[in-house]
Chain A
Amino acid sequence: MSVVTLTIDEKIVSAQEGQTLLDVARENAIDIPTLCHLDGVSEAAACRLCLVEVVGTSRLLPACVTRAAEGMVVHTTTPKLVEYRRMILELFFTERNHVCSVCVANSACELQALAASQGMIHVRLDYLHPHLPVDTSHQQFGIDHNRCILCTRCVRACDEIEGAHTWDVAGRGIHSRVITDLAQPWGEATSCTSCGKCVQACPTGALFRQGSTVAEMQKDREQLAFLVRARKEKQWIS
């Protein structure tokens, strides 16, 4: 396997060929925000927060799926990118009912953390205020569609790590939502093994353990990457 050198934010870094820009950046302590990326599962490239500028390409490229190449010059925080990231976060906040003060994941939410770290302090667009259900038919877990950002981490974790494929996406456009089995209540989804991986994967308070109240839903997102590494590389230490 060959090694390539590239420049990310004026810093010269080395990478293995085929490594993604996101990987390389994180190895070198360069922070690129993400929401749909989850270590251990495949990429969706759907949240568009990791878009970066690559010199010589007019298009913005998602760092999570763009491979490092020799001589690449990458900028991760240009004024344009900063502005677009804030607007993307604005869109997330207007889409559903993200009310942090009454959310189980308050202070443990990736969306909330990103809004703070990216400086999204105000929403200028109209809130869409959709009427969405909360499904608590499962014995141990629940889903609050009001908090879901459709990152599909639960879908991928369930399919790729647990192998159950209980979760999927139904509907399209603004009417998309994650469903269990054939859109029946979670408690009746027979393919669900109740492993809880989806809950750990969820970046917000959409998926939660029942009985959690405001700010109690802490998630262990490392657990999934640990499992994947353990299986692939037979390394049982984190």
Chain B
Amino acid sequence: MDRSELNDLAQRERASWKPARLHCCTASGCLATGAEGVFKAMKQAITDKGLTDRVQAVGVGCLGLCGRGPLVQLAPQGPLFEQVSAEQAPSMVGAAVGESPHAAILDTAHPFFSSQLKIVCETSGEIDSERIEEYLALGGYRALHMALTEMTPAEVVQTISQSGLRGRGGAGYPTGLKWATVAKMPPGPKYVVCNGDEGDPGAFMDRSVMESDPHRVLEGMAIAGYAVGATQGFIYVRAEYPLAVERLRKAINQAKKLGVLGSGVFETPFDFRVDVRIGAGAFVCGEETALMASIEGRRGSPRPRPPYPAEMGLWDRPTLINNVETFANVPTILRKGADWFASIGTEKSKGTKVFSLTGKVRNTGLVEVPMGTSLRHIVEVMGGGVEGGSVKAVQTGGPSGGCIPAEFLDTSVDYESLAQLGSIMGSGGMIVMDQTTNMVEVARFFMEFCMDESCGKCIPCRVGTVQMHRLLSKIAEGKATSTDLALLEQLVPMVSETSLCGLGQTAPNPVKSTLRYFRHEYEERLRPMTSTNGRVPLPLRLA
């Protein structure tokens, strides 16, 4: 396929779109509340009313406000209906031809929608997630075509570097630098890996991107492949995301059929194949070295770095690993330019970040905001705050992150500011907690998670998490003394400094941050020391 065929196809697709399109969200969140029935009922109602040439029902990706699903939007620029039932389907079809609908309408001028800036989620919710033609109609694969025909690999790397894009998996490593490192490795087999093993409790951004817009991720990967000189890509998706796997596989087949993936992409000498690899239920496989071991078919346990994957990755070859959201940014950066991207966000954190807003917040769902937006704006304005109460803390970064207390809500969301508060950006999970939340329980919950998910390779993580969990349980149950708290505080730095991989190194973070801001909650649960309940505290240095 060449440029004119690409344009033709996109034009033909757009021409085939009916004047009114009913966009029904068919991502996991809405499917769980019955979107499939709504979607079918709408299709039926369109036929029944004889409106097949004026209205079409489209199963689109995530529309954002997952807590109010199933969501249906009348496009273009029509109302957004919430909590739709199959019975309401005929009424919405009626609305598409000007009748007044009998369904609750969401205010799309609300900050939840109006404060968003969509780059990663640009086309999610606009197109049928299962048809490549719809992605093409909205400019899909143009960036890949442009890279292959108008740019050298070095120029692509240069563009990504200039854009200031940083890894969206959580650590924020400069993406351009990573690409440049892999590109500079001697020629030979290289790999591109997309990390879709999103496992943090409360995080569902990557799932949504993969389900809503699988082609965007594939396009990003193909561009990366061209830039670093790789011809094989792998998308590693956790098995708990069956819909994402299904849609990615479908997308890969469609892309191969059209010649935008596979041998001779866009009739250039560039080959790029992508295969899906499915996780087997281990959180640690989100760690890049464990992920690679898993792709190779070995036990998913991490190994020490260096050597970093960029130098020695899959099958000991240079490997580029990026997160789903990182790749999803790439096509737009290429299309709109590095300067445009760099103009969004803060000085050190560019672009936008997708957060999954969950917990005790009014509006739960997916939001994409420019870097530098304040936590308060996201939680209280966009999220609508806590129902009948106030925010106590916001947890970011899942089990590797920390709790940010309400007094720091004015912090801007960027890599450095969050790290300064003892939390991390993380992959984008944002859990809002209200005043009823017991912070010791929060720490215990995340420690239990890490304990269960530890691979068992290194001792500090394998046993340290168990011991910390026991101490936290003791404190939570009111059975601990100050000796136990002191022990816990010694284990925290030890486990984080001595563990082999990121899981163990960050496992104590929720404890560390709750101790930092909510120490009194720990202390008020301690029992006084008596001769029978506590061992005598021992000095730190023995012998």
Binding site for B on A (CB under 8 A): 43-48, 51, 59-60, 62, 65, 79, 82-84, 86-88, 91-92, 94-95, 119-122, 124-126, 128, 149-150, 168-169, 171-176
Contacts and interface: CB of A to CB of B under 8 A. Distances in A.
A83 B466 contact: no
A43 B465 CA distance: 24
B463 A176 contact: no
A60 B505 CA distance: 11
For the complex of A and B, list the 5 residue pairs with the smallest distance between their C-beta atoms, beginning with the closest: A176-B456, A119-B543, A173-B454, A91-B463, A45-B304
A79 B282 CA distance: 36
A51 B457 contact: no
B519 to A, nearest CB: 21
B538 A60 contact: no
A1 B506 CA distance: 39
A173 B451 contact: yes
A35 to B, nearest CB: 9
A51 B459 CA distance: 13
Interface stretch (B65-73, B319-327, B494-502): B494-502
Given A45-B500, A59-B497, 11 more contacts: A48-B460, A48-B500, A124-B538, A126-B467, A149-B459, A150-B457, A172-B453, A173-B462, A174-B462, A175-B456, A176-B462
A168 B303 CA distance: 16
Nearest to A58: B497
30 contacts: A45-B304, A46-B457, A46-B459, A48-B459, A48-B499, A51-B498, A83-B541, A84-B497, A86-B542, A88-B494, A91-B464, A94-B467, A95-B463, A122-B542, A125-B487, A128-B463, A149-B459, A150-B456, A150-B459, A171-B456, A172-B284, A172-B455, A172-B456, A173-B452, A173-B454, A173-B456, A173-B466, A174-B451, A174-B456, A174-B466
B458 interface: yes
B540 interface: yes
Contacts of B540: 83
Contacts of B457: 44, 46, 150, 176
Nearest to B543: A119
B299 interface: yes
Contacts of B303: 45
A173 B455 contact: yes
Nearest to A176: B456
Nearest to B283: A172
Nearest to A93: B463
A38 B393 CA distance: 47
A6 to B, nearest CB: 17
Contacts of A149: 459
Contacts of A119: 542-543
Nearest to B304: A45
A43 B500 CA distance: 13
A44 B467 CA distance: 23
A88 B459 contact: yes
A174 B542 contact: no
A48 B456 contact: no
Contacts of B451: 173-174
B469 to A, nearest CB: 10
Interface string B505-543: 000000000000000000000000000000100101111
B11 interface: no
B149 interface: no
Interface in B481-504: 487, 490-491, 494, 497-500
Contacts, number: 105
Nearest to A92: B459
A122 B483 CA distance: 15
B335 interface: no
A143 to B, nearest CB: 17
Contacts of B249: none
Contacts of A171: 456
B490 A174 contact: no
Interface string B292-304: 0000000101011
B299 A169 contact: yes
B295 to A, nearest CB: 18
Contacts of A51: 498
A59 B496 CA distance: 10
A95 B498 CA distance: 17
A160 to B, nearest CB: 15
Most chain A Cβ neighbours within 10 Å, of B452, B458, B538? B458
B256 interface: no
A21 B467 CA distance: 31
Given A44-B457, A87-B490, A121 B282 contact: no
B458 A46 contact: yes
A19 B301 CA distance: 25
Contact of B454 (A43, A86, A87, A172): A172
B400 to A, nearest CB: 16
A68 B466 CA distance: 34
A124 B284 CA distance: 29
Contacts of A84: 494, 497-498
A176 B300 CA distance: 13
Contact of B460 (A79, A88, A172): A88
A176 B282 CA distance: 14
A95 B538 contact: no
B470 interface: yes
Contacts of B301: 169
Contacts of B462: 95, 150, 173-174, 176
A46 B500 contact: yes
Contacts of A174: 451, 454, 456, 462-463, 466
Contacts of A86: 542
B304 A172 contact: no
A172 B284 CA distance: 10
Nearest to A79: B541
A126 to B, nearest CB: 6
B497 A173 contact: no
Interface in B258-307: 282, 284, 299, 301, 303-304
B280 to A, nearest CB: 11
A147 B491 CA distance: 23
B470 A91 contact: no
B494 A87 contact: yes
Contacts of A83: 494, 540-541
B304 A65 contact: yes
Most chain B Cβ neighbours within 10 Å, of A59, A88, A125? A125
Contacts of B538: 122, 124
